[in-house]
Amino acid sequence: MEQRLYIAENGCKRLDLFLSEQSDEFTRSRLKRLIEDGGVTVNGAVVKKAGAEIKSGDTVVLTVPDAVEYTVKPENIPVDIIYQDEDFAIVNKAQGMTVHIGNGNESGTLVNALLHALDSLSGIGGVMRPGIVHRIDKDTSGLLVVAKNDKAHVSLAKQIAEKSCHRSYYALLEGNLKDERGRIVTDIGRHPTDRLKMTVLPDGRGKLAITDFEKVAQFGTEYTLCRFVLQTGRTHQIRVHAKHIGHPVACDPVYGYKKQKLSVNGQLLHAYQLELTHPTSGERMTFNAPLPPVFKDILQKLCAKHGLKLEDIIKE
C-alpha cells in the first residue's frame, strides 16, 4: 500500500479533477473508484465524493492499494497479434470470442489468451479486464488496442475519450441505404424492458452517441456495404444506430431481422482500422485488419451477383 501527499496550490476544483492533474498514472474512472472506496482524505478526513470541492491549501492524501494478482488464468488460445511493443499490442479479434470474463464467461476469452501470449498487461482494468482499453462485441471481429502498462493505458484511454483514436468499421446493412454519407447523433442507454439490449432514448435519458457513416457499395435493394467511424464508444453503438436508421446490420441476432437470408453466426460487422498516437514516442500509427473469410466470401458472392468486383470496393 502506498500513500501520496498533495497540497492544493490553486483555486477550487473537483477532487477527482485535482488528483488527475497530479499524476498521469490513473484514469478519472479509477480515481473515482479509489475515492468512493475511501482511499482519499482531505485535511485528514475521508472524502468519498469525486465531486467534492478542493480549495487552495488543502492537504490531499491518496492511498493506492497494493496490486492484486491476476485471478484470470492464462490459456494457450490462438490470438492474432498484428503488432506489439513495450507499451501496447494491437489484436485482430476473431468473431465469436468474448473480450473478457463475466456474465458466465470464465474461460476462452481474449483476456485469457493475452495473459498467455503477452509478457505484461496494465492493471487499470482490474483483475477481470487487465489491459483492456476498449471492447468490441463477441460476434464482431477486428482490431483492439491492449495496454501493456498503466501509463500507456491512461494515454490510450484519453485518446479514445478525446476522439483522437479513430476506429473504423465495415458493416453489411439490410436494404438500400439511400444516403451516401451522414452522421447519426442520439442518446443510447439500456432498453427499458429488455436489460440485455441497448436502445435509442430521448435526449437526456441516455449517453450521447455519435456515429459517422459512408456508403461503400450497393447490392440492389438487398444490402448496402457501409463504412462506420465511431465518434463515441457506447455499448452496441453501431448496431443500435444501424437499426435506428432502418437498416440493421445483416445477421445481427439481437438488433436485426428475425428471418435472415444469409447463414452466418453473428453480425457482419468488422473493425478494420485503428489509428492512434503512440503513448511514448508520439508517433501517429495506423493499423488495418483484412475482412474475415466469412464476411469476404459473402461480399464476393454479392459482387458477382451484381456485376461488381470486391477489389474495386475494398483495398486491402
Give, in degrees to the nearest 5, the angle at Cα 136 between 208 and 139.
Answer: 120
* In contact, 16 and 50? CB cutoff 8 Å: yes
Q: What is the DSSP string of 106-130?
A: -SSSHHHHHHHHSS---STTTTTST
Question: In this structure, how many other beta carbons lie within 10 angstroms of the beta carbon of residue 314?
Answer: 18
Distance CA 145, CA 277 (A): 11
**Residue 202, class by beta-carbon neighbours within 10 Å (0-12 exposed, 13-18 middle, 19+ buried)?**
exposed
User: Which residues are CB-contacts of 55 (< 8 A; sequence separation ≥ 6)?
Assistant: 8, 11, 12
| Cell numbers at 281, concatenated | 514516442
Q: Is 137 a catalytic residue?
A: yes
Distance CA 316, CA 310 (A): 10
Q: Which of 58, 87, 137, 139 is catalytic?
A: 137
Sheet with 59-64: list strands edge to edge. Answer: 2-7, 59-64, 40-42, 45-46
In terms of DSSP H, where are the helices of the chain? 15-22, 28-36, 110-117, 150-161, 237-244, 293-305, 310-313
* In contact, 250 and 256? CB cutoff 8 Å: yes
Q: Which residues are identified as catalytic?
A: 137
